[in-house]
Amino acid sequence: MKLKRLGNKSKTLNNKRNVLIVLSGPSGVGKGTIAKKLIEQNKNIALSISCTTRRPREGELNGRDYFFIEKSEFKNKVEQGGFLEYSEHFENFYGTPKQFVLNTLENKDVLLEIDVNGGLEVKKNFPDAVLIMLLPPSLEEVRNRLIKRDTESLAKINLRMDRIDYELSKKELYDYNVVNDDLKTAIKEVEKIIYQEKNK
Distance CA 57, CA 168 (A): 25
Q: Which is nearer to ligand 5GP, 141 or 199 (CB)?
A: 141
Distance CA 43, CA 47 (A): 10
Q: In angstroms, give the least distance from the CB of 14 to ligand 5GP.
A: 27
3 state DSSP class of 24: strand
Residue 89 within binding range of ligand 5GP, rule CB under 6 A? yes
Q: In angstroms, give the least distance from the CB of 123 to ligand 5GP.
A: 12
Residue 95 within binding range of ligand 5GP, rule CB under 6 A? yes
Q: In angstroms, give the least distance from the CB of 114 to ligand 5GP.
A: 4
Residue 114 within binding range of ligand 5GP, rule CB under 6 A? yes
Distance CA 112, CA 15 (A): 22
Q: In angstroms, give the least distance from the CB of 155 to ligand 5GP.
A: 18
Q: Which is nearer to ligand 5GP, 118 or 136 (CB)?
A: 118
Residue 143 within binding range of ligand 5GP, rule CB under 6 A? no
- 21 with 129: CB under 8 angstroms? yes
Residue 180 within binding range of ligand 5GP, rule CB under 6 A? no
Helices 139-149/154-168 angle, 10° precision: 150
Q: Which is nearer to ligand 5GP, 94 or 176 (CB)?
A: 94
Residue 113 within binding range of ligand 5GP, rule CB under 6 A? yes
How many whole angstroms from its chain centre is CA 127?
Answer: 16
**Binding flags for ligand 5GP, 17-36, as an x/- string (CB under 6 A):** ----------x---------
What 39-47 contacts at long range (C-beta under 8 Å, 24+ apart), as own/partner pairs, is 39/111, 41/187, 41/191, 42/109, 42/191, 42/194, 44/108, 44/109, 45/21, 45/108, 45/109, 45/110, 45/111, 45/194, 46/104, 46/108, 46/109, 46/110, 46/111, 47/110, 47/111, 47/113
Among 21, 35, 46, 50, binds ligand 5GP (CB under 6 A): 50
Footprint of ligand 5GP on this chain (CB under 6 A)? Answer: 27, 50, 54, 85-87, 89, 94-96, 113-115, 117-118
